[in-house]
A and B are shown apart, each in its own frame.
Chain A
Amino acid sequence: MFELVLFSLLNGLVFGMLLFMLSSGLTLIFGMMGVLNFAHAGFYMLGAYFAYTLTGYLGFWPALVAAPLLVGVLGALVERYGLRRVHRFGHVAELIFTFGAAVVIEEVVQLAWGRPAKSYEVPEFLDFPLFRLFQGSFPAYKAFMLLISVAIFVFLFAVLTRTRAGLIIQASLTHPSMVAMLGHNVPRVFMVVFGIGSALAGLAGVIAGPVLGTFPGMAQVLGSIVFVVVVIGGLGSVSGAFVASLLIGIVQTFAVALNISLNSVLAAAGIPLDAQGPLHDLWKVTIAQVAPIMPYLLLVLILIVRPTGLFGTRET
């Protein structure tokens, strides 16, 4: 049991921190533009595919740096030449633009790399178990993922709260016209934030590709959950995204481990249920079976109880 709890906790942390890398960029962009960026998961996908190709030419470390930079530049270009033009037509146009961009990215990736899954592997020097406990083992690569994402979190937090650039970014999120009055180039700030957000998504793709798989559906699989994180954490709140990411990562991991159903709970409480009733299938569903939809349940609850999200100040 201890083993299961420990490994579940570690896996939950790794997955949660990965979610944070994706959602931190998205929440900044969300706070800035006021609309969801549907293409965000597409940048995550691009990161994984770029890294897959670059690893073949440059090796793992250079790819780890180059692929997110490439994705970041691409993101900045999308903002500069796409979103900024669309911006004047309002939020709906922006939303549709990012939606279109998401589809385009996914199709282009399939055209360029083909439809079958790619064999983007964990680099050999990280492909060993870090420690063994009973029968299970914890891979070194996951520890590496954790390390990278914690480093990103510390870096992001320091930049946003301790530097002048961070102050300007934060100010631009809430009071763009005031910041512009003070002589700062707000559109450029937006472009830089969009670029950095995309680069973070790209980085998440680079380190997650070998573990979660590099295939055409990878953006869709992770895309929806990232929105959940952003809404639960609160719009534009990086610390909210951090807490929500860890929460979802751990809740989801632990839920899989629980084989408790409504039926077994009631039976333990001494209320046996009719096994033949019209809803008998519902009572037998275990928490493990619904684990992947737990985050969405959490989303609905949060929207009802606290529409601003955990750390947000604005209504969603």
Chain B
Amino acid sequence: MRRQGLRSLVLGVLAMAAIVSAAQAQGPVKIAYVDPLSGAFAATGENGLNQFRFAADQINRAGGVLGRQLEIVPFDNKISPQESLIQLKKVIGDGIQFVFQGNSSGVAHAISDAVQKHNERNPGSRVLYLNYSAVDPALTQEKCHFWHFRFDAHADMKMAALTDVIKANTKLKKIYIIGQDYSFGKAVAAAAVSMLATKRPDIQIVGNELHPIGKVKDFSPYVQKIIASGADAVITGNWGADMIGLAKAANDGGLKVPFYTYYAASDGVTAAIGAAGIDRIRLVHESPAANPTAPKVVGDYLKAYKKLYPNGDVNQPRIHTGLNMLVLAIKKAGTTDVDKVAAALEGMEWTTLNGDRVVMRRDDHQLLMPIYISVHTNKNIVFDFDNSGLGLVNENKVEIDKATLPAACKMDRPS
């Protein structure tokens, strides 16, 4: 009697599981978005979420994937690694198989480690981590693993592209490096020093400065120091308020040399730098600015986005690329099984909205792409940022083969 009860219980559970999985098969393909939606970085997280929803809507209108629709499910991680792990548990608990995250390499490391451990221990409920913005090179090097894919160029790739441009500019003789005193700022400085030493040994590094992150009230003294050093150009990884403060102080102090930056655009930064940065602030990024001209398909995409989100900007075209490559991989795999989708993503080629050919390198799961350098200006702007009339105009393009660094990853693949 007792055994029979047990058997019917097991049967019942099995039947229920079958019903649930059948319902899932007909329901949408859920994609988790784990990024800050409250706190100091909420503006960035919110704009990213909107770009994901917009890209997903476009895919859904075109028929979705495997006859199912995409659904972006937001999770607020408050840009804290601990909170991200709690949210990741929720994601896994909800049966979501695909996780996008981008803001902060600290968070990225936490999620990447957790995903790897979870997948090794739970082959039945694996998740795929798709990193669209965290650029610490280690994520695709010593910390790489099979279930992590990166759709942005990492810090060293950007620095390689930047130093190529500097290499060609023989007028530059003295360079000043300034950054925030934490892992990313140090990584940028180290890459700049080593790459400049090989590409342009004649260039003198006249300053290599780290300042506390988010603690500097007035950047004028730093700017005076840069002026006194006689630098021809400045390299900085500063972002947020530290970038705005540096740009404003440079303008006030009469420092006219170019600034090569990683994050001096959009999400309020373009508007806040304002006229102070015109023709001075340059940005190294993974996709071309939409000015002075952009392919029609890009223009239509930006206009449609602006119509829906008047206060936002499409500042991360890699979101469109990442989501579409995932969808293509699911189509190719014919299933949402994580291992099969990951295998389909390996080596996948894709043509971005801008017409660039990009490749997901099999060895380390780093997307290879051309890298662009553009300038902050108010001239020839068709698509501005922050509704400020200011935006980015393309200056240089570093082709994909020049922007590619050798892979340094030893990866175990599930057999």
Contact = CB atoms under 8 A, between A and B. Distances in A.
Interface of A: 1, 3-4, 7-8, 11-12, 14-15, 114-119, 121, 129, 132, 134-139, 141-142, 211-217, 221-222, 225, 252-254, 256-257, 288-289, 291-293
Interface stretch (B14-22, B207-215, B400-408): B207-215
Nearest to A6: B224
A292 B40 CA distance: 21
A138 B223 CA distance: 12
A62 to B, nearest CB: 22
B224 A211 contact: no
A291 B215 CA distance: 10
B254 A135 contact: yes
A116 B386 contact: yes
Given A115-B43, A213-B244, A221-B215, A7 B272 contact: no
A256 B209 CA distance: 10
B210 A253 contact: no
A212 B221 contact: no
Given A119-B274, A121-B275, A288-B209, A141 B221 contact: no
Contacts of B212: 292-293
Given A217-B40, A256-B221, A256-B222, A137 B253 contact: yes
A177 B181 CA distance: 52
A215 B224 contact: no
Contact of B221 (A119, A217, A221, A253): A253
Interface in B309-328: 311
Contacts of B211: 289, 291-292
Contact of A212 (B210, B215, B217): B217
7 interchain residue pairs of minimum CB distance? A116-B268, A137-B254, A256-B221, A117-B272, A119-B271, A11-B220, A115-B43
B218 interface: yes
B388 interface: yes
Contacts, number: 125
Contact of B272 (A15, A119, A129, A254): A119
Interface residues of B, number: 40
18 contacts: A3-B227, A3-B228, A7-B253, A8-B224, A115-B268, A117-B241, A119-B271, A135-B230, A139-B253, A211-B249, A212-B245, A215-B244, A215-B272, A217-B40, A217-B214, A221-B217, A289-B209, A293-B215
Contacts of B399: none
A8 B244 contact: no
Given A114-B311, A292-B212, 15 more contacts: A4-B225, A7-B227, A116-B268, A139-B254, A142-B252, A213-B248, A214-B272, A215-B241, A215-B268, A217-B40, A221-B214, A254-B221, A256-B221, A257-B228, A293-B212
Contacts of B218: 11, 15, 211-212, 253
Contacts of B268: 115-118, 215
B142 to A, nearest CB: 22
B221 A292 contact: no
A221 B269 CA distance: 18
A6 B412 CA distance: 60
B232 to A, nearest CB: 11
B254 A136 contact: yes
Contacts of A129: 254
B73 interface: no
Contacts of B272: 116-119, 213-215
A119 B388 contact: yes
Contact of A15 (B214, B215, B217): B217
Interface in B341-398: 386, 388
A213 B245 contact: yes
A256 B254 CA distance: 18
A158 B52 CA distance: 60
Contacts of A254: 221
A105 B267 CA distance: 23
Contacts of A216: 40
Contacts of B40: 115, 216-217
B224 A7 contact: yes
A216 B248 CA distance: 17
Contact of B216 (A8, A119, A292): A292
B42 interface: yes
Contacts of B210: 289
Contacts of A252: 221
A157 B227 CA distance: 37
B329 to A, nearest CB: 34
A216 B268 CA distance: 12
A189 B128 CA distance: 65
A117 to B, nearest CB: 4
Contact of B224 (A4, A115, A118, A132): A4
Contact of B253 (A1, A136, A292): A136
A277 to B, nearest CB: 21
Nearest to A140: B252
Contacts of B42: 115
B265 to A, nearest CB: 12
Nearest to A121: B274
Contacts of A115: 40, 42-43, 268
A213 B241 contact: yes
Choose among A4, A118, A119 the residue with the greatest number of B CB atoms under 10 Å from its CB: A119
B217 A117 contact: no
A224 B18 CA distance: 59
Contacts of A256: 221-222, 225
Contacts of A118: 268, 271-272
Contact of B220 (A117, A225, A253, A291): A253
A134 B248 CA distance: 20
B224 A136 contact: yes
Nearest to A7: B224
A112 to B, nearest CB: 15
A14 B268 CA distance: 27
A211 B248 CA distance: 7
A131 to B, nearest CB: 10
Contacts of A4: 224-225, 228
B69 to A, nearest CB: 31
A299 to B, nearest CB: 15
Interface in B257-283: 267-269, 271-272, 274-275
